[in-house]
Every structure is written in structure tokens, then in C-alpha cells.
Structure 1
Amino acid sequence: MNGINHKTKTSQILLTIAAFVVVVAGMSAAKVILVPFLLAAFIAIISAPPLFWLQRKGFPTWLALLIVILGVLFGGLLMAGLVGSSVKDFSRDLPVYEAQLKQQSDLIMSWLDKLGMDLSNLALTETFNAGAVMKLVITLLNSLGNVLANGFLILMTVIFILLEASSFPTKLQTVLGGPGTSLVRFDNFVSSVKHYMAIKTLVSFATGVLVAIWLAIIGVDFPLLWGLLTFVLNYVPNIGSIIAAVPAVLLAIIQLGLIRAVLAAAGYVVINLLMGNVLEPRFMGRGLGLSTLVVFLSLLFWGWVLGPVGMLLSVPLTITAKIALESRDDTRWIAVLLGPGIQSESKTETADESTSKSQ
């Protein structure tokens, strides 16, 4: 009997792994359709709190929805216009940056040559090419532009999700047959994700505005673009702010010299330390129960499966998977491994339970 049980467990594990591979391959193959839908869900989650707030203030549902959708549409058009004009301006100004880079590299080579260093075989300009410096930015802008090209599909999906948002809890309670444990757990999950998205959006927006203002004061070209890039990449945990800072600082080196580039980098560091390590934890309150390693690995995994938008949505998608794993006894151990630890996990659950009771 033990041998049979062992074979059964082994078969279940192999079947689970095979199913996981098939699902991931299917998601990667269908990312052209899946990415706009996930982005629409992401926007809908961010837009839901303002919608519910307007409804509580006495606005009819149709008027509250119209106001929110107009806000989303305005933000999308503004972002699309900024992305499109930035790609055009980059292509136009790239020869200027290359000339400035060559001039600065020649000065550095001359200075090092006076110190007695033989740099005749060092091709500094070819190694540090302005086109290569901006390649990452242009790639990110093109990826974002491709997603925004599906704007109508995304907008319609957001509208339908928001229309169903208020009635979905009632439908779920009817399906589950009453307010049971599963419904409480789902409510806690939705509340956690909405809380995370709302705070993260506000903090990211404030970070982007401060970065744009600082770079405009220094004199770096395209400050609005760098502010937008900071706002978008701030959703990417751990390394998003670093990725956002690199192209702006490199452009500052090419355009304004080393001193102002150091000022630009210092501004990024101060702003991100203030917003990410001081204000965000204070407003975020309870965490979402993921270890730092899992957050980083989820960033790589979802970026590989779904592209740049997958990196943006890595935390919400991983949280969804964790909640699904927690709902079954035979997969709960995987959810524990994804969490920050037994003690932190229990604290989070206690906070969630107290929150649900207070509601």
C-alpha cells in the first residue's frame, strides 16, 4: 500500500508540473490577447476606489463610471502622446548626443593621456555609444506604445469590469452559498490588492512628478518623459526605480557633463529613499505576504512570460497564485514557501481578519 501511495503522489507531482508547463506555454503563446486583458484588470482595480467613492457621495452609477472612464481615457491619451513624441524626438536628437559624447570622450582621453596612460587601443566611443545608451528607453517606449495601440479593447474591458465590480461580491456569495471561509479569504485578497494598487499608484505618481521637476531644474532633456518612465517602472518592485534612473543619468552625462549627472543621480536616490522607504511603508500598512526573493523571481518569470507588462503586473499576479494555492490543503505548503515566513504570515492573516471584522 505504501508503494502504491508513493507512486500516486509521484504521479500527482509530475502531473502538476506538466500542467504548469502547459499553462505557462499557453499564456506565453496567447500574450497578445492576455496582456491587454491583464492590463485592463490592472487599470480597473486602480479605478475601482474612485468609482465607489463617487457612488458613496451620491453620484449615479452611470455618472460615476463616466467620470472615471474620462479620467482613464485622458491619462491614456496623454501617455500615448508623450510616448509617441518622445520616440520621434529621440530619433531627431540622437546625432547631437553622439557628437556631445564624442567630444566628452575625447576630453577624457586627452586628460588620461596627460597622466601617462596609453589608451590608444581603447575605443571608448564605440564601447559607450549613445545609440546603445538610448536603446533601452526606445525599447520600453515602443513596448508601451504597442500596448496602448490596443487602447479601445483595453478601455472597453475596463468599462465592463467596473460595471460588474459592485455586483460581483453578491454573485460570489450566491455561488458559495453564504459568507463562508472562502468568501472571507477572497474579500481579504481583493482588499489587499486594492490597497496595494491604490497606495502604489499614488506613491509612483508623486515620485514621477518629483523626478520630472528635479530633472527640469537641472536642465536634462525630456523631463516629462523621465517622470513618466519613473511612474511606470515604480510598479516594478526592487529594481524598477534603478532602471528608470539609468537612461536619464546617462543622458545627463552626455548632455550636461558629470557634475549635473551626479546631481541627477542624487535626486533619484533621495526621492526614491523618501518615497519608497519612508512614505510608502507608512501608508502601505500591512504587506501582501511575499518574500523579497519571490518578488524578484516573479519579476523575472512574468517578464519572461508576458514581456514588459508582465514585469509591471508581477506582484498582483503572484499574489493571485498564492491565494489560489492557499485555498487547497495539498498546495498550501507552496503558498507558505512563497510567503515571508511563518511569523510574518500569521501577522498578516491576523491583520486581515481584524480588518474584515471591522468592516
Structure 2
Amino acid sequence: MTDEGSTARGDRAPGRHAPEGSGRPFAITFLVGAAALTVALAGLRSVADIVGPVFLALVLTVTVHPIRRRLERTRMPEAVASLLMLVLAYLILVLLTLALTVSVAQLASLLPEYTEEITDTVADLGGGLASLGVDQKQIDTVVDAVDPGSLVGVAVSLLSSTLSVLTDLFFVITVLLFMAFDTNGTRRNLALLGDRFPDPVAALASFARGARSYMGVSATFGFIVAVIDGVVLYFMGVPGAFVWAVLAFVTNFIPNIGFVIGVIPPAAIALLEGGPSLMLAVIVVYSVINFVIQSIIQPRVVGDAVGFSATLTFLSLVFWAWLLGPLGALLAVPLSLLTRALLVEADPRARWALPLLAGKVPPEEPTPATAQD
């Protein structure tokens, strides 16, 4: 009994029969990897002003690339096709910049008109808090903190922060110029590398398809939502309908919380303009439009191109917004698609994580015997 117990205890001794170095090297590898990741993230955050515009140029190039393929089928010269693709990308940038600029200007001229209404609303809020038994000093602190002038500045800075994404237009335009004329060569090189490195090349192709589908569908439905919102707000008598339409278009690229960001400013202006009834009407109209278009129709059109669970999409939004700022929030899904392609899809050993990222079980593949049948 003693020998058997000793043998049993000896069998369970650390490292006696386990693979040599199976515990400590894994811990060391994990710590080294975590440290390397921390340093890499710190480096990316320090150069966010460069990484963000470069990735924006890459996404724009990928998005308009199918047009180049169609032009090439007409036997159009390669240089002309590249030039037309570049002009289209520039046109998208110019239109978006003009819309945001006009929106910021209109918002800056609109909000000062409601200074008195904001003051009265804050006073009513203070009276309501007093009726609930809140200490007067705390009420005074809240009322003093809500300065109409500062509110105007915050509201303007919201759209201005989005506009700042495109402030360095010269840099984005230059990067787009090189990418547009390098697209064909890059495509040929990837085709040649496909035989030697099929998994990484297929992963990059998957990223391109997913990013193109997401950006195209988001832009299309964002435009539809913006037009509907703008027209409805105009007929409801809410000032700044064009501003809120542009905001609805931009926030359609922000997953999960884009609708909430887009509805708060027009609802606040509706409260100041027509009282709680108009504010409630704006919220109801926005909710109906968002539910029908963004929650029912848009996901069906996108299909499984993105392949992320709702939780992971939200966490990616938070992460990329923290790392790259406003541009990271707008491009959170394409950035996550590229990360998944490089870290998961390009490595056959890591593809087991794809169902976890998508939040659903993939369709069963036929067994070899079934395939032969």
C-alpha cells in the first residue's frame, strides 16, 4: 500500500511524467507576448494620426476596386483605369468633407439661438431637483456646470472631431494616389504568392471582400437613413435638418451605438424648440427608421460578410476608438476584419476561433466519404 501510494504520489509530482518545460515556458511566452502587445499598442497609439488616414485610404481603395476591374474588362488602358478609380475616391472624400464642413457651420450658427432656452431648461431642472429634496449646494454646482456657451462648444466639437478625420486631406490624397496606381501590381504579386502562401493570401482576400461589403452597404443604407431623417425632421419643424441628416449618415458607420449618437442632438434641439412632445416624436421616428432599416434590412443585405458577434463588434468599437480616436470608431469593423484575417484566418491552427468570433456555429462540411459519394 505504501509503495503504491508512493508511486501514485510520485506520478503526480510536478514535471515527473509531464512534457519537460510544459508549464513555465508557456507562462513566460504569455508574459512576453503580452508585453510585446502592450508595446505595439502604445506605438500604434502614438502614430494614430498616420495609421488612421493610411487605413482610410486603404479601405477607400479596396471599396472602389471592383469598378477598376469592370473598366479593365473593357480593355481600357491600365493607367486610365487607375486614374478614374483615383478620381472616384477623391470625389468621395470631397463630398464627405463638404457635407461635414457645412454641417459644422450650420450647427455653430444654430446653437447660439437657443442660449436662453437652455438657460431656462437648466433652471427648470434645478427646480425639479429641489422639489425632490436635493441639497441646494449640489443643485447650484450642477446648474453652474451647465453653461450654454460650453454646451455650444461641445456640440460643435462633436462634428468637428469627425471633420478632423479628414483635415489632413493632402496626406490622404497622396496615399490614395500611390495606392491607386499600385493596385494592379499588388494584385499580380498576390496572385503569384498564392501558390506558395495560400492561407495568408486567402485571408487578405477575405478582408477585402468583407471590408468592401461593409463599407458599401453602410454607405448605401446610411444615405437612405440620412435622406429619410432629414425629410422627416424638416416637415416636423426641427431646425438643422441637414445637419442631423449628415450626422445620421456618419454615425451609420459606427456599430451598435451609432443610432444613439445620431438621435441625441436632434432630440435635444426638438426639446428646446417644441417641448417634450416634439422630442418624443423625434425619438419615435428615429427608432422606427433605425429598427426597420438598420436592424432588419441592413443586416440581411450584409449577410455573413462581417462575421462578428454583437459583443465582439461593440468591444472592437471601444478598442479602436481608444487606439485611433474618431477614425478608429468609424473604421472599427474594417480594422477588426484585417486583424482577424492576419491573426486567425491566415493561420490554419487558429481557425478554430472563427466560430467564437462570429458567435455561431459554421455549417458542417461534408465528410470525405460523403464528398466522394
1:328-339 to 2 correspondences below 5 Å: 328=347, 331-332=350-351, 337-339=356-358
Cα distance between partner residues in 2 of 1:266 and 1:290:
29
Cα distance between partner residues in 2 of 1:106 and 1:182:
61
Cα distance between partner residues in 2 of 1:248 and 1:50:
37
Cα shift at 1:320: 1.4
Aligned to 1:355: none
**Identity value in percent:** 24
Q: In 2 relative to 1, CA 291–132 (structure 1 residues): closer, same or farther, beyond 3 Å?
A: farther
Cα shift at 1:335: 5.1
Cα distance between partner residues in 2 of 1:148 and 1:72:
13
Cα shift at 1:32: 1.6
Cα distance between partner residues in 2 of 1:220 and 1:145:
23
2:26 is aligned with 1:9: yes
Cα distance between partner residues in 1 of 2:263 and 2:49:
29
Q: In 2 relative to 1, CA 24–333 (structure 1 residues): closer, same or farther, beyond 3 Å?
A: farther
Q: In 2 relative to 1, CA 267–159 (structure 1 residues): closer, same or farther, beyond 3 Å?
A: farther
Paired residue type of 1:276: Q
Provide Cα deviations, 1:309-354, integer angstroms capped at 9, x if missing partner: 101111111121112222235654555543314x1xx23x97xxxx
Cα distance between partner residues in 1 of 2:109 and 2:256:
33
Cα shift at 1:44: 2.0
Task: State the TM-score, normalized to the length of structure 2.
Answer: 0.80
2:254 is aligned with 1:198: no
Aligned to 1:237: 255
Aligned to 2:44: 27
Cα distance between partner residues in 2 of 1:209 and 1:182:
40
Cα distance between partner residues in 2 of 1:244 and 1:82:
16
2:330 is aligned with 1:312: yes
Aligned 8 A contact 1:325 1:334 in 2: no
Where does structure 1 lack aligned partners over 5 or more consecutive residues?
Answer: 351-359
Cα distance between partner residues in 1 of 2:132 and 2:193:
76
Using the TM superposition, name which of 118-127 and 182-191 deviates more: 118-127
Candidates 29, 41, 62, aligned match of 1:45? 62
Cα shift at 1:29: 0.3
Cα distance between partner residues in 1 of 2:77 and 2:148:
53
Q: In 2 relative to 1, CA 119–296 (structure 1 residues): closer, same or farther, beyond 3 Å?
A: closer
Where does structure 2 lack aligned partners over 5 or more consecutive residues?
Answer: 1-17, 366-373
Cα shift at 1:120: 10
Candidates 175, 178, 184, aligned match of 1:157? 175
Task: State the TM-score, normalized to the length of structure 1.
Answer: 0.82
Provide Cα deviations, 1:186-233, integer angstroms capped at 9, x if missing partner: 333322222222112211121112111111111222222211111111
Using the TM superposition, name which of 93-102 and 243-252 deviates more: 93-102
Cα shift at 1:278: 2.2
Cα distance between partner residues in 2 of 1:17 and 1:11:
10
Aligned to 2:10: none
Paired residue type of 2:326: P
Provide Cα deviations, 1:126-167, integer angstroms capped at 9, x if missing partner: 566544555553223222232222112212222322333344
Aligned 8 A contact 2:103 2:242 in 1: no
Using the TM superposition, name which of 241-250 and 286-295 deviates more: 286-295
Aligned to 1:274: 292
Using the TM superposition, name which of 156-165 and 218-227 deviates more: 156-165
RMSD: 3.1
1:245-284 to 2 correspondences below 5 Å: 245-284=263-302
Aligned 8 A contact 1:199 1:280 in 2: yes
Cα shift at 1:61: 4.4
Paired residue type of 1:20: L
Q: In 2 relative to 1, CA 242–61 (structure 1 residues): closer, same or farther, beyond 3 Å?
A: farther
Aligned to 1:207: 225
Cα distance between partner residues in 2 of 1:118 and 1:14:
53
Aligned 8 A contact 1:323 1:335 in 2: no
Paired residue type of 2:113: V
Larger radius of gyration: 2
Q: In 2 relative to 1, CA 331–75 (structure 1 residues): closer, same or farther, beyond 3 Å?
A: closer
